[in-house]
Amino acid sequence: MAEQKYTAKNIVVLEGLAPVRKRPAMYIGSTGIRGLHHLVWEVVDNSIDEAMAGFANEITVKLLPENKVEVTDNGRGIPTDIHPQTKKSALETVLTTLHAGGKFDSSNYKVSGGLHGVGVSVVNALSIWTRAEVHRDGKIYEQEYRQGVAQKSVKEIGKTKKTGTIISFQPDPEIFSKTEFSWSTIITHLRQQAYLTKATKIKIIDEREKTKSKAYSFYFEGGVKSYVSYLNRNRETNSSVIYFEHEENNVYLEVALQYTDDYTENSYSFANNINTPEGGTHITGFKSAITRVINDYAKKNELTKNMKGALTGDDIREGLTSVISIKVPEPQFEGQTKAKLGNAEIRPFVENVVNTQLSTWLGENPQEAKNIIEKCMLAANARMAAKAARETVLRKGALEGLTLPGKLADCSSRDPAKSELYIVEGNSAGGNAKQGRDRQFQAILPLRGKVLNVEKARIDKMIANNEIKSLIVAMGTGVGEEKQIDKARYHRIIIMTDADVDGAHIRTLLLTLFYRHFPELIDKGYLYIAQPPLYRIEKGKKFQYAYSDEERSQIVKKFKTKETDKINIQRYKGLGEMNASQLWDTTMDPENRILLQVAVDDAAKADEIFTKLMGDEVEPRKKFIQTHAKQVKNLDV
């Protein structure tokens, strides 16, 4: 190997905001649609921090033509005087310097979400154009930037009686694969932030099309109590919303919880308004306290005297919807994505508050307390029944692949990272898939008929279902209390169903199963949906496959020449209509196939959809169907 000189000249120093443009994903997670919306969240977070500090009560987000966004608040306005260290305006310093901001000074912000102080400067770096307008001290100040570089000094452009900051930006198409913002994504996020920042009005206006301008406003006095009511609006409830708040040593806790007839837990946690999907010390404290309090109350009032042992945490949280929001002066988040709170002192704080407040509520509401205990006992009985069923069905050997279901055509590879499992609708398609697959790394599990709707069934009924039982054994993960996701035998699990109504229904039932009982597989990126072609377009000896109506039209247009050969279009409704080689070429060959990876961008929204479409309540489902009926395509009749 030729010797290479490695000297100081080889060390690259990126100054200012250059590191952000060089490695944008390090700062916003990705340069896809999620990272694009992260720009909006960063700017909005600054305004929400002003609201949490008591200096703002109105925030407006505008979506403008050319994919521009404008965020306005009525807070104090970013200072514009000269910064002693940078010798530039404080406004320019905040917009062009990483780790610069008022959040590092506890006298300005007792709590804040944008702790790292990189938010607005990162937005500036990743935008082709940014404009900051500040209303402060009776004057209006302005400064513009291009890709994070100030175009001129801050200048005074007028007088004002208002205070606040307006940040406008246009994402850089050189950085982002797409620059069009999603109205529904922004609506959902801002609604959540309004619940978490009570008594603050948050408005969103879409002015991208001047003839179709639309607007929404959110304002909630009830805070997270209102949030829980919103989350449970399509569910049967077993209690009123239990709500309490407590502040001590500048730490503020808000808790709201309510029991429903559901069989799953739906809990959402936040630290300084930032969603913490991986939980943390605040959630550990909450779970520990609620388990202790309910067991103590049940024992004291002899409500579980006929039960063997105490209620487990899972028993107590079955059917529970809860929102835990904590605001901490100096949060210690684990990782740049802030998915988990690490402050050790928060666990005992939350435990003490929940112990005291929940005990008081149960004592003051004996009938509702009894309903809750009965709900928990039902869950305990189901858990014991499920354990018995699981011991019968999922023996130790099954998880090790010794008693895999007979209809599973397994692959020869034993490396989960290289192995994939196709869940196929019907024996006919399953037979074709078995013949067409690559036996080295592709396993096939055909399912017969429609699997059980787990949204309406407890885990013991689920395990007794033959199709679900076969799938669980094939995956090797176990289920319920003994679930071990790291034992998954395949790191690609692919749902492959027919392109008709029955296929869509089976796919939805399987997605419900994975979302409710194996969400970790989704989080790890293991779950996919196969995309078989909808059409085969043939002319003479030439043929092509189309995966959408638009693609079909393009192929037909291309085939329309002066030649007299007739164009034949075959619409595939079932996988069984393709032979083994066609199925391989179009849907299973890694070189040609199209797979959709299943991901959950918004857990609350996903939970709402599954509850509405797959739950017991008919009215929300009927309303959904009526609302969207005109959008349906390719409906079988």
The neighbouring-strand residues paired with 418 are: none
- What gap in Å lies between CA 565 and CA 538, rounded to an integer? 10
Between strands 201-206 and 58-64, the pairing is: parallel
Q: At what angle do helices 224-231 and 183-196 cross, to 10 degrees?
A: 130
Cβ-based neighbours of 518, under 8 Å, separated by 6 or more: 475, 477, 479, 483, 485
Q: Which two tokens stand for residue 624?
A: 């959904």
Give catalytic status of residue 616 as yes or no.
no
Residue in 49, 70, 425, 608 annotated catalytic: 425
Amino acid at site 592: N
Residue in 50, 70, 133, 498 annotated catalytic: 498
Amino acid at site 98: L
Tell the residue number behind the tokens 């990876």, with chain if given.
Answer: 597
Give catalytic status of residue 425 as yes or no.
yes
The neighbouring-strand residues paired with 243 are: 256
Number of Cβ atoms within 10 Å of the Cβ of 357: 19
* DSSP E strand stretches across 139-213: 139-146, 149-150, 155-159, 164-171, 201-206
Give catalytic status of residue 248 as yes or no.
no
Residue in 502, 523, 538, 616 annotated catalytic: 502
- What gap in Å lies between CA 58 and CA 386, rounded to an integer? 50
Residue in 278, 438, 500, 616 annotated catalytic: 500
Q: Is 572 helix (H, G, I), strand (E, B) or coil?
A: coil
φ and ψ at residue 237, rounded to 5 degrees:
-110, 150
- What gap in Å lies between CA 579 and CA 575, rounded to an integer? 8
Cβ-based neighbours of 122, under 8 Å, separated by 6 or more: 17, 20, 27, 28, 39, 42, 98
Give catalytic status of residue 502 as yes or no.
yes
The neighbouring-strand residues paired with 569 are: 537
Strands laid side by side in the 266-271 sheet? 242-248, 251-259, 320-327, 266-271, 274-275
Q: At what angle do helices 501-517 and 603-614 cross, to 10 degrees?
A: 130
Number of Cβ atoms within 10 Å of the Cβ of 66: 9
Q: What share of the chain is helix, strand, coil (3-state, %, to 5)?
A: 40, 20, 40
- What gap in Å lies between CA 389 and CA 313, rounded to an integer? 21
Residues known to be catalytic: 425, 498, 500, 502
